[in-house]
């Protein structure tokens, strides 16, 4: 399993986690705080998991742009630039969400913490279960399993 | 003496801003160390880039988790 497939699997499971946390948090938030609780939980989950998933997305984009040459300015520029941009947008959005009347801030905060810890658990589980080879080389041609086609 | 004491003790605005500042320092140092060490390791063993990249991803994910929680604490709980 190479890096791209690991990152894709992380993104898929993060999306599943987002749905689960939004539904469970939304129900609990609605029971405790009514509609503001529901919206707070949904907003918190979306914020946390959207920005959590952006790291994996920026890594995939960086691998594509740098064409596998990871020791390059483009690669680390995209990963770290994406990280910086993500935090600026996160702070701006959270500043807006905090002042909304129809969002319960405590529900949003609890769902952000749960979603972030859950996304860490998802990342770790996927990576532990992924059988990544030490030397990561993609086969030249998938139909020949990496062997030159002339030998078939 | 009284005036000096009063001036030193005077604080206006929200002290939670300092909390956000501290929450920003840690992840910055953490990500710097993670990325720097990953570059160093890749330069030593380029064939292990894939594994190093995934390890770097885990490191960044854990570091930014602290930052997200710190920033959210400042904005939502204060």
Per DSSP, helices labelled H in chain B are 2-9, 16-44, 49-77
For chains A and B, count residue pairs whose Cβ atoms are closer than 8 Å: 100
Q: What's residue A99's pLDDT?
A: 82
Residue B5, in any domain of the structure: no
Distance between CA atoms of residues B6 and A151, nearest Å = 87
Total domains in the fold of chain B: 1
CATH assignment of the domain containing B28: 1.20.20.10
Q: What's residue A152's pLDDT?
A: 45
Of A70-74, A88-92, B42-46, B54-58, the poorest mean pLDDT is in A70-74
Residue B6, in any domain of the structure: no
Residue A143 DSSP symbol: G
Residue B4, in any domain of the structure: no
Residues of A in contact with B58 (CB under 8 A): 123-124, 127
pLDDT by residue for chain A (152 residues), tens digit each?
778 888 889 999 999 999 999 999 989 988 988 888 888 889 888 888 888 888 888 888 888 888 767 777 888 889 889 988 988 888 888 888 888 888 888 888 899 999 999 999 999 999 888 877 777 665 444 555 545 555 44
Residue B69, in any domain of the structure: yes
Structure tokens at B61: 């994910």
Query: Does A55 sit within 8 Å of B64, measured CB to CB?
Result: yes
The number of CA neighbours under 13 Å toward the Cβ of A146 is: 4
CA-nearest of A30, A50, A115, A56 to B58 is A56
Domain span holding position B68: 14-77
Q: What is the ipTM of this complex?
A: 0.77
Residue B48, in any domain of the structure: yes
Residue B22, in any domain of the structure: yes
Q: What's residue A138's pLDDT?
A: 57
Residue B3, in any domain of the structure: no
Residue B54, in any domain of the structure: yes
């Amino acid at each position: 399993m190479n890096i791209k497939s690991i990152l894709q699997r992380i993104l898929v499971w993060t999306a599943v986690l987002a749905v689960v946390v939004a539904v469970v948090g939304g129900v609990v938030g609605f029971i405790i705080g009514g509609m503001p609780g529901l919206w707070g939980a949904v907003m918190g989950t979306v914020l946390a998991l959207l920005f959590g998933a952006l790291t994996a997305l920026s890594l995939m984009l960086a691998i594509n742009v740098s064409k596998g040459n990871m020791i390059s300015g483009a690669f680390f520029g995209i990963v770290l630039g994406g990280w910086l941009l993500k935090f600026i947008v996160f702070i701006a959005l959270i500043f807006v969400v905090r002042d909304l009347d129809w969002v319960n801030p405590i529900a949003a905060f609890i769902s952000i913490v749960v979603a972030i810890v859950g996304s860490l658990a998802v990342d770790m589980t996927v990576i532990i279960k992924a059988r990544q080879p030490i030397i990561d080389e993609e086969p030249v041609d998938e139909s020949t399993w990496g062997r030159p086609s002339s030998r078939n | 003496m009284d005036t000096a004491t009063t001036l030193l003790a005077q604080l206006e605005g929200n002290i939670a801003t300092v909390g956000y500042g501290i929450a920003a320092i840690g992840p910055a140092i953490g990500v710097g160390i993670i990325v720097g060490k990953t570059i160093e390791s890749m330069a030593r063993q380029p064939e292990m880039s894939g594994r190093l990249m995934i390890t770097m991803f885990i490191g960044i994910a854990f570091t930014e988790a602290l930052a997200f929680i710190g920033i959210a604490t400042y904005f939502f709980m204060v």
